[in-house]
Structure 1
Amino acid sequence: MRKIFKIIAIIIGVLILIVLFLAGGLILYTSVAPSPDPKSYNEYWPENLTYAEADEIAVDLVSQMTFEEKLGQMTGDMSFLDIASGLTSVLVFEKIPIVASGENERLNIPPFTFTDGPRGVVVTEATAFPVAMARGATWDRDLEFQVGDAIGKEARAAGANYFGGVCINLLRHPAWGRAQETFGEDPWHLGKMGVSLINGVQQHNVMACAKHYALNSIEESRFKVDVSVDERTLREVYLPHFKMAVDADVASIMSAYNKVRGEFAGQNRYLLTDILRNEWNFEGFVTSDWLFGLRDGVKGVNAGLDIEMPLDQHYTPEELKPAIESGEISIDQIDEMVRRVVRTKLLYITNTDTQEYTDEILASEEHQQLALEVAEKSMVLLKNDDDFLPLSAGEIESLAVIGEIADSDHTGDRGSSGTHPPYIITMLKGLQDYSNGSFEVIFDDGTDIESARQAAERADAVVYVVGYKSEDEGEYITSGDPEVAPENQWGEGGDRPNLFLKPHDQNLLMESLPVNQNSVVTLIGGSGIMTNTWDQLTPSILMAWYPGMMGGEALANILFGKVNPSGKLPLSIPKDEEHLSFFQADIDSIHYGYYHGYTLLDKENNEPAYPFGFGLSYSNFEYSNLQLDKTRLAESDTLLVSVDVTNTGEMTGEEVVQLYIGFENSMVERPVKLLRGFEKERLNPRQTKTVSIPVAAKDLAWYNPDVKAWEVENMQYSVFIGGSSNWEALLQSDFTIQ
C-alpha cells in the first residue's frame, strides 16, 4: 500500500510541476514582446548593400563587440523560460512562435527570425503543401520554385526572415523516417529540386537553410550513429546536392546530428571548413541542428560551426574563454565566425522588398490553389490495368471509401516540419465534395474487416485509403540521450520497420479486395511502399504521399479524370527489401556504400517492382528521333540531347523526360547509369514536342581520391533518354569525350 501511495504522490508531483511550468509560460507568453522585425533595422544601414560593403560593416561591428556580444551572435537566444513560453503558445493558444536570435540593439544588428519547414511555414494558419517527397515526384523545378516563392512570402508575413526547411538529405533507404522531408534518392534530382526551393524562398529576402549536412539518413539513431564512408562515395553520392545549394548562394547550412568518420558533423572540420569553405567557397553561416547538434564548444569553433542553436549550451564564456587563454582556439576564429553571421544578416535585411507582406498572404487563395496543383502533379499512378481509371461519375451510383486514413486530417509528421493550416480537405471530404450528391459515398473506416467487406461488396466502385500516419514515421521526438535505446525513448515517429503496409492494412486489402474488382488502392506515406503481397487483387494503385491541405480535392480530381496524373517516382520500390542497401534504425555505426536505390538495382541486375522515375498517365507518350548536337566533345563542352515526344492519347498530359548517362567504358568503377537531366513537358492529344536537355561534360566527372580532384574520363559514353529509368523505356545513343 505504501508503494501505491508513493506512486500516486509522484504522479501528483509531476502534474503540479507541469501546471506550474505552463502557468509560468502563460505569464511569460502574455508579457513577452513579439519577435522583433529584422526589417526595422533598415534605417541604420544603406539600402541594397553589396557583399563587399556588408563585409566591411561586419568587420567594423565585430571590432566594437565585447566577448559576450560576440557569443550573442554565435548562439540562439532561447532559455528555459522561452521554452516554457513557447510550449504554452503551442499547447494553450495553438500559436507557433517565431524564434528570434542574435539581435544587438546597441550596435543596431538585426536578429534572424526563424521558422521551419519544409512543407510550409511552421506557423498557425499557413499553407500546408504536400511533403517534399511528393514534390520530388512532380519532377517540376518551376513548380517547386513557385512553392518556394509562396513559402518565402508566408515566412515574411509571419515575421520570419530565416527558413530552415530545405532538407536535401539523400534518401539512402525508403525506411528512413524523415524521407518525407527530402526530394528523393538521386543526388542530381535532389539538388535541382532543392535549388528551386532555395531560389523561390530567398527572392523574398528570407535566408534559406539547407540541411542536414551531412550523411543524415537514419532517424532513430541520429544522435549517436557514426557513419563511415569512402571518399568517392562521400563526394559523388552524399555531397553533390549540398554543393549545388552552395553554388545557388544558399544563405545558411545546418549541420547534422550524426557522426561522420568518428566526429560529430557539427564539429567536423573536414566537412565544415575543408570542404564547405575552403573548397566550395561557402560564404554564408553554418548553424547546428537544435539542442544536441554541438557536443564540444572548442571543437565547434575549430570546425567552423558559426551558431549553436537554439541556446548557449557550449558556446559559453565558461567553455570558450579558458580555451582562448590556453591557445586551443583564438579570438580571430571567433571574430571570423561572427563576421560571417553579421555579414549575411545585413545582406538580407538591407535588400529592397518587392512587395508588402501582410497577414492576408498566409494560406491565401492563390497559395491554396498552388497546393492543389502540387498535390495533383505529385500523385503517382503505379498501376492501371485495362484503363480502370479514370472513374466516371455518371456511371456509378455508389462509391465506397474504405480506410481510417481517408477521414484523417494529418499532413505528415508532427516534428519540426509539422504544419498548421486553416483547414484540411481529407480524402473522404474531397470525394464527397466531388460527388455533390451525384453518387452515394459510403464510408467505412476499415477497422472491422467484415464491415469493410460489406461496404465494398454493395458499392459500384471502391477507393481504399491506406498507409502511414505521423505516429508511424517522421522525426523521432525523443529525449535525445544517446545512451538510451530507441525503444525506451519517449515520442513518436521514427524509421519504418519495413516497407510494407502495416499488418492490419494488408489484411484489410487481402480480405476485402476480392469482393469487388472495381477498386483503386490509394497509398499514403512519406516514402516507397511495397505492394507485392496484394497488388494482384486490384486493377489500380495510386501513390498519394502526404498530399497537403488540398489532398482530398486533388485525389478526387485524379480519380475522376479532371486531372491527368503526371507524377513519377523519385525513388525505387524493390520487389524484395534485400535488393536495397542495408538499413537498421537502432545502430551505433554503419558504412554507407557507393551504391543505393536504382544504382544498386542496376549493378546487381535486380528488377524493381516500380523503377525510379516511373509513373503512369491516362495518356501514352512515345519517344523517337533521338539526336545529339555533336558526338565528340572536349571536357569544357556541353552536349545538347534532343528527342521527340508524342502524346498518342486522347487527353492532355504531362510527361517527365529523363536523361541518363552510361559509363560502361570507364577504367574505374561507376554506376551503370546516372541521371543527368530532366524536363517536364505538357502535351495536347496527338501533339509532338522536341525536348532538348543539355549535359555538361564536367558533370560526368568522377572524384579521384588519390589526387583529390574531379576527373572527366576521355572515353565513349552512352546517353539514355525516356520516361523512366527502366531500360525498356529508354532510347540510346553514344558520344565521346576526348
Structure 2
Amino acid sequence: MDSAPTFDDAVRSVRAGELDADAAADALIAELSDHELLGLLDGDAGPWVLPLIPWLLISRPFVAGAVKRLGIPGIRFSDGARGVVIGRSTAFPVAMARAATWDPELEQQVGRAIGLETRARGANYSASVCVNLLRHPAWGRAQECYGEDPVLTGRMGTAITRGLQANAMACVKHFALNSMEDMRFEVDVSVDEHALHEVYLPHFKAIVDAGAASLMTAYNQVRGRYMDVNAPLLTDVLRTEWGFEGFVSSDWVFGTHDAVASLQAGMEIEMPLRLRRARELPHALRTGRLDRSTVLQAAHRILRTTLLHYANRDTDEPGPAAVASPEHRALARQVAAESIVLLKNEPVGTGTGTDSAPLLPLSPGIRSIAVVGRLADRENIGDHGSSRVRPPSTVSPLRGLRAALPNVRITTASGRSARTAAAAASRAEVAIVVVGLDQHDEGETVLTATVELGVLGAAFTTGVLRGPLSGLVRLSARFVRGGDRRSLALRASDIELIEAVTAANPRTVVVLIGGSAILTEGWSERVPALAMAWYGGMEGGRALADVLTGASEPTGRLPFAIPTDPAHLTPFDRTATQVVYDGSWGQRKLDADGHAAAFPFGFGLGYTTLEHELVSHSFGDSAGPAAGSAEVRVRNPGDREGTTVIQLYAADVSLDRPVAQLLGFQRVTVPAGGESVIQVELDAVPTLQRDPATHEWSPRPGEWMLLAAQHSPLSWTGARPLRPTPPAPAARRPRAASS
C-alpha cells in the first residue's frame, strides 16, 4: 500500500488478504489530521440542518465521518424498519407482522431486499433492526419490534441482520431496555441482574454474535445512567463480556448527553449532526481531559468495521431498478400473507341450516360482499415516525378484494354511520369489517412540520445548541400524533360498527389492523371469523384477499399474548419517569398469575388442522445458546395442504404455576394426508442463569420439562424431562487397607 492510502486502496488490500482490517484502519488513521480524526465521531452537517431533518431523512443518506481527500465514505445512514425511508421504496409489513410469520428465512430475504434498496439509495448503514422486547402492547413503537419473546426476537433480528449486511451495515436498536415512547427521553429503568441478562439482553447478544456491525443507544436511562454514558453496558457487557468489535452510534439529537463521557463509555458516533462533540472535543483533546488513545480507539472501531463491510459486501452494485422492483413487491405480498393470524373461524347459520364448514375461506361461489369500516380503503401501513416508508403505490383491503374477486358484487361503507354499514351488510352474503389502529393511535412520538423548528428550539434549550433563535423556534412546539397507546381496546365507534354489522349479517369477518395486541372481549363472541392483518405494507390488501379467499393459507402466529383483561398485564404508565423491568410480562405473567389469555402467545388457526408428536430430543448442560435439538413428527389428516409453526417450550413444573419458556420453533408445511419429521434447534438461554460475579452460565434449578406445542401450552401433560437424568452414582467399594 502507498504511504498515503485511500479508502479504496484499503478495501482492495483487505479483500485481497494483503492486510487485515485492523492494519488497514490504522494506516488510514495515520493519515488523518486531528480535525479529520474528531470528525469521524459525529455527523458531518452543522446544527443549522436540525429543522430540516424530516425532509432530508427522506431525500438522502445522513453522513457522519466522511473524509473526501482520502475517499473515506463515512457511515451513510438510512432509517426504516419496514423498508428504506429515502424516496419511494418498497414498504414491507411492519416488523411485528413479520414476527408473526415465525419465519427467519423469509425475514432474511426481507433484510436482503432492504439492504439492496438502501445501497441503491446511496446509503451503507441501515437502522432496520429493532429488537427491543414488547414489554407491554401499549408501547407506541411496538410495531417496529418482533414481539414479547427473547428467542423469537433473537432469531428474527439475527435473520434480518444477515440479510441486510450483504449490502449495508446493520444498526441494531435501541440498546437497551427501551420499551416506552412518551417518556423515552427521561425514563430511568431499574432492573435486576436476572431480568437484565436473562431476559432483556440475550437477543441483542445473539445478533452481536451473528456479526452485527453497529448498535444504536437508547434515549432512556438504565440504573441512573443515560445509555450514551452507560459504561457498564457499553463497555463492561457489550465490549468486554460479549466481545463486540463494531461501533456504537447515538440515537438522534437528544441521544448524547456528554461529549467526552459518552466517548469514554463506548459510544463512538454522535448522530446525526455536529452538535455537542464538535463544540467540546477539540478543547478536551488539547487540554488532556480526553485521552488521544480514546479517540484513536473509537476511530479504529469505525474504520475497521466500515472497511470489513466494503471488503465483504456483494460485489454487484444495485441500480435504481432494485428499488420497489417486481421481486420486492412480490416478497412484500408473500410476507404480508404469511403474517396474517386467523384468530377465530367458526361455522355460522345461513338461514337454511348450519354450514358444515367454517366461514373462511370464502366460498368460491360467493356473489356479494360488503366491505365496511374506516380502514377498509385507507393506505394504512404504519406510523408516521422515523420508520415511515413511502411506497410508489399501496393496495388497501378494499382494492385487494376487488382485484381478487372481479365477478363478485362488492359494496362498501366508510363506517362513519353504523346504520348505513349495517344496511350494506344486510344485502350481502358476507360482511367484512376492517377496523383497528392508525398513526394517530400509536407510533413514534412525531412532531408536525412547523414543530421541527420546535425541535431546534428544544436543542437550544437543553444546551445542545445556543443562540438567539431559540426563543422564536420554541414557540411552535406541540405534539400532534403517535406515542404510547392510551387503551388496548378498539375505538368505541369501531365496536359500535362491529355490533351493528353482526346484528345485520351474522356471516361477518372482522379484520383488525394494528401493531400489537387489541382487546377483543365484549364483542368477539358475536363474530364467527376474526383475523389480525397488522400494518401489511404496500401489498397488504392483496395479501389479505389471498388469505380470505383461500388462495393462501393463514399461517401467521401471534408474537405476543392477547389478554382478556389489561389488568392481567404488567403495569404501564405512559407518563412514568421511573420504571422497574422484571422477568414477568406478557404470556409469562399470565402463566405465573394463573390468567388464561384470550389468545395465547404463538396462537393462530389454519384452514386445516395439523397434529404433532415429539419424537426425541437432546439437550445438555451447555452454557451457550446452541443447547440441542428436538425431532417432531407433524401429520396433516385434512384434505388440503396446511402450515403450522411447531414450538418447543420448557418450564419448571415443580412450580404451582409453570411458566412456559420458548426454546425453539420451526414452520412446516405438510400436504393433505401427509406427514413430515422436522428438526427444531433449541436455545438453552431461557433455562439458564448467569452468575453476576463470574459471568458463567449454568442450568436453573427445578424440574424442567419439554413440550412440543402449536402455541404457548395450557397444560404440561405429556411433557418430557428437558435434560437427561444423571445416572445414579455407582456403589463405592471399600478401599483396601494399606500395608
Q: Residues 580-729 of structure 1 correspond to what in structure 2 (within 5 A)?
A: 580-624=569-613, 626-629=614-617, 638-664=627-653, 672-695=659-682, 700-705=687-692, 707-713=694-700, 716-727=703-714
Q: Which moved more, 1:447-456 or 1:41-50?
A: 41-50
Secondary structure of the residue that 1:266 maps to in structure 2?
helix
Deviations 1:695-725 (A, max 9, x none): 3656631123354432224765200111000
Within 2, Cα distance between the matches of 1:435 and 1:631? 50
SS at match of 1:150: helix
Secondary structure in structure 2 of the residue aligned to 1:603: helix
1:441 to 397, 410, 420: 410
Give the secondary-structure state (helix, strand or coil) at the position aligned to 1:676. strand
Aligned equivalents of 2:199, 2:683: Cα separation in 1? 18
CA distance in 2, matches of 1:132, 1:632: 33
Q: Which whole-Å CA distance do the structure 1 matches of 2:574 and 2:267 have between them?
A: 27
The answer as to 2:42 corresponding to 1:58 is: no
In structure 2, what is the Cα distance between the partners aligned to 1:649 and 1:361? Answer: 41
**Distance across 1 between alignment mates of 2:481 and 2:18:** 44
User: Per the alignment, do residues 447 and 213 of structure 1 end up closer, same or farther by CA in structure 2, a change over 3 Å counting?
Assistant: same
Query: Partner residue of 2:35?
Result: 68
Asked whether the 8 Å contact 1:119–1:130 carries over to 2, the reply is: yes
Q: Which residue of 2 aligns with 1:451?
A: 420
Shift of 1:324: 4.1
The aligned residue for residue 467 of structure 1 is 436
Tell whether the 8 Å contact from 1:723 to 1:729 is kept in structure 2 after alignment.
no
Structure 2 CA distance for partners of 1:241 and 1:635, relative to 1, 3 Å: closer
Partner of 1:246: 208
Give the superposition deviation at 1:393. Answer: 5.1
Give the distance between the partners of 1:670 and 1:192, measured in 2 at CA: 27
Q: Secondary structure at the match of 1:46?
A: helix
Q: Does 1:508 align with 2:497?
A: yes
Distance 1:697 1:170 in 2: 19
CA distance in 2, matches of 1:369, 1:400: 27
Q: Is the 8 A contact 2:166 2:313 kept in 1?
A: no
Q: Which residue of 1 aligns with 2:8?
A: 42
Match of 2:336 in 1: 375
d(CA) in 1 for partners of 2:344, 2:113:
33
Task: Pick one of 168, 178, 182 that aligns with 1:220.
Answer: 182
Report the equivalent of 2:384. 414
Match of 2:450 in 1: none
CA distance in structure 1 between the aligned counterparts of 2:718 and 2:431, rounded to whole angstroms: 38
Give the direction of change, closer, same or farther, for the CA distance of 1:696–1:598 in structure 2 (3 Å limit).
closer
Amino acid of the structure 2 residue aligned with 1:104: V
Post-superposition CA distance 1:75-100 (Å, at most 9, x none): 0112345456665668xxxx632222
Q: Is the 8 A contact 2:46 2:275 kept in 1?
A: no
Which among 120, 143, 151 is matched to residue 83 of structure 2? 120
In structure 2, what is the Cα distance between the partners aligned to 1:642 and 1:315?
Answer: 54
Q: Distance in 1 between matches of 2:14 and 2:287?
A: 41
Q: Equivalent residue for 1:400?
A: 370
State the SS of the aligned residue for 2:12: coil
Alignment of 1:325-336 (within 5 A): 327-336=288-297
The answer to whether the 8 Å contact 1:147/1:200 transfers is yes
Structure 1: tracts of 5 or more residues without a match: 1-39
2:468 corresponds to: none
Q: Does 1:210 align with 2:172?
A: yes
Counterpart among 385, 394, 397 of residue 346 in structure 2:
385
Q: How many Å separate the matches in 1 of 2:24 and 2:411?
A: 66
Could you say what secondary structure the match of 2:269 adopts? Answer: coil
Superposition pairs for residues 7-46 of structure 1, below 5 Å?
42=8, 45-46=11-12
**1:475 Cα deviation after fit:** 0.6
Of 309, 312, 319, which aligns to 1:348?
A: 309
- Check conservation: 1:134, 1:378, Cα contact below 8 A: yes
Deviation at 1:728, TM superposition (A): 5.0
Against the structure 1 CA distance between its residues 48 and 671, is the aligned structure 2 distance closer, same or farther, given a 3 Å change threshold? Answer: farther
Q: Partner letter of residue 536 of structure 2?
A: P
- CA shift digits 1:657-676 (9 cap, x unpaired): 0001112359xx99722111
Higher mean Cα deviation, 571-580 or 506-515?
506-515
Matched, 1:523 2:490: no
User: What SS class does the counterpart of residue 245 from structure 2 fall into?
Assistant: coil
CA distance in 1, matches of 2:178, 2:436: 24
Quote how far apart the aligned CAs of 1:353 are.
2.8
What is the letter of the counterpart of residue 593 of structure 2? E
AA aligned to 1:300 is S
Whether the 8 Å CA contact 2:359–2:507 is kept in 1: the answer is: no
Contact 2:432/2:511 (8 A) holds in 1: yes
Structure with greater proportional helix content: 1
Note if contact 1:86-1:96 (Cα within 8 Å) is conserved in structure 2: no
Aligned residue pairs total 688
Gapped runs of 5+ residues in structure 2?
1-5, 348-356, 448-453, 463-476, 727-739
Specify the alignment match of 2:197 in structure 1. Answer: 235
CA gap 1:451/1:306 in 2 versus in 1, 3 angstroms:
same
Partners in 2 of 1:113 and 1:320 — Cα distance? Answer: 22
Cα distance in 1 for partners of 2:153, 2:223 equals 24
User: How far apart are the structure 2 equivalents of 1:185 and 1:698?
Assistant: 16
TM normalised by structure 2 equals 0.88
CA displacement at 1:498 relative to structure 2: 1.4
SS at match of 1:346: helix
In the other structure, the counterpart of 1:430 is 400
Worse-matched range after superposition: 328-337 or 578-587: 328-337
2:79–2:128 contact (8 Å) kept in structure 1: yes
Cα distance in 2 between the residues matched to 1:226 and 1:123: 33
Structure 2 distance, partners of 1:345, 1:469, is 38
Offset from partner CA, 1:187-223 (integer Å, 9 cap, x none): 110000000000001122x101100000000001101
- Using the size of structure 1 for normalisation, the TM-score is 0.89
Counterpart-to-counterpart distance in 1, 2:684 and 2:55 = 55
How many Å separate the matches in 1 of 2:170 and 2:503?
Answer: 49
CA distance change for structure 1 residues 593 and 696 in 2, over 3 Å: closer, same or farther?
closer
Closer, same or farther: CA 105–336 of 1 in aligned 2, 3 Å: same
* Cα deviations by residue, 1:396-432 (Å, 9 ceiling, x for unpaired): 3221111111111121011111001110010010011
Aligned to 1:277: 239
8 Å CA contact 1:599–1:671 kept in 2: the answer is no
Q: 1:731 to 1:406 in 2, by over 3 A?
A: farther
CA distance in 1, matches of 2:50, 2:620: 61
Q: Output the CA distance in 1 between the equivalents of 2:10 and 2:611.
A: 60
Q: Which moved more, 1:263-272 or 1:635-644?
A: 635-644
Q: What does residue 151 of structure 2 align with?
A: 188
Looking at structure 2, the residues matched to 550 and 632 of structure 1 have their Cα atoms a distance apart, in angstroms, of 44
